[in-house]
Amino acid sequence: MERIDAHHHVWRYTPEEYGWINDAMHILRRDFLPENLTAEMRAAGVRGAVAVQARQTMEETRWLLDLADGCEAIRGVVGWAPISSTKEFAVAMEELAGRTKLKGLRHIVQGEPDDFLLREDFNRGIRAMGGSGLVYDLLVYERQLPQAIEFVDRHPEQEFVLDHIAKPLIREGVMEPWASLIRDFAKRQNVWCKVSGMVTEADWATWTAKSLQPYLDVVAEAFGPRRLMVGSDWPVCLVACGYRQWFDVLDEYFSGFSKSEREAVFGLTTKQVYRLE
């Protein structure tokens, strides 16, 4: 079984570009580069990874792709492009067409108004992705799931990956309406789900595998193991747990699943959806 990390970041830290990293996250206030990532991957038995944008600039997308070209372990990149701007997006898509490690695009929708996904300019851009082979990574909070469902229904031919199981209120121990919305969302067969980003939605100091289990149970039942993919959300996860520690939690949770189901969750689905080599 080849293990693939479906979601991680790399960055050169500056306070101006990473203003969301507050004092409580001080551990993240440094550079995290491919050599740091690959050391973590080796320790956890992970063979490949997908780098995901953290800044909304074409400059970062180019930088991530350049890093991936020089790092065999980074199999693919989910970058950012100006999807909402018809002219600029067309130019960006033309520029990125030859970058074979570009596998998807993402916009940080969790930082936008809740109706952002229903804006016509953004939907026009998603339609323009048709035929490109690129996946769209969907980053939303729980409260934005109703709009996300309507958004996905507008694009039945587009492949979507839901990041971080839509960030439920794990810290508060709240299940609804998240669980019902996830079950509804999972009925769309063009949506996959990343099992990632959970520890940062829990209490960073006191979370346990048991406190995460109800949320894992919901996504495992709703999507089925063959539409799930595991991701570290490294280095953001470090505010609450280590890289290998997170994979240990997932290994334990999925230990009772069949061999083929574990193969899907831990790598095969990621390779297929993102068309990794």
Q: pLDDT tens, 105-138?
A: 999 999 999 999 999 999 999 999 999 999 999 9
Residue 1 has pLDDT above 90, yes or no: no
Percentage of the chain surpassing pLDDT 90?
99
Query: Is residue 48 a contact partner of residue 266, using CB atoms and an 8 Å limit?
Result: no
Q: Evaluate if pTM is beyond 0.85.
A: yes
Instruction: Give the count of beta carbons closer than 10 Å to the beta carbon of residue 240.
Output: 19
Return d(Cα 212, Cα 171) in angstroms, integer: 10
Domains and CATH numbers, the chain: 4-273 (3.20.20.140)
Q: How confident is the model at residue 277 (pLDDT cuts 50, 70, 90)?
A: confident
Residue 253 has pLDDT above 90, yes or no: yes
Q: How many residues does the chain have?
A: 277
Select from 140, 231, 228 the least CA-distant residue to 191.
228
Model confidence pLDDT, tens digit, residues 19-56: 999 999 999 999 999 999 999 999 999 999 999 999 99
Provide the pLDDT for residue 31. 98
Q: How open is the CA angle 271-275-277, to the nearest 5 degrees?
A: 75
- Mean pLDDT throughout 176-194? 98
Model confidence pLDDT, tens digit, residues 150-162: 999 999 999 999 9
Percentage of the chain surpassing pLDDT 70?
100
Model confidence pLDDT, tens digit, residues 190-240: 999 999 999 999 999 999 999 999 999 999 999 999 999 999 999 999 999
Can you read off the two tokens belonging to residue 154? 């507008």
Instruction: Give the count of beta carbons closer than 10 Å to the beta carbon of residue 228.
Output: 25
- Mean pLDDT throughout 60-70? 98
Q: How confident is the model at residue 188 (pLDDT cuts 50, 70, 90)?
A: very high
- Mean pLDDT throughout 240-246? 98
Return d(Cα 147, Cα 110) in angstroms, integer: 12
- Range 108-134 burial, b when 16+ CB lie within 10 A, else e: ebbeeeeebbeeeebbebbeebeeeeb
Mean pLDDT for the chain?
Answer: 97
Provide the pLDDT for residue 239. 98
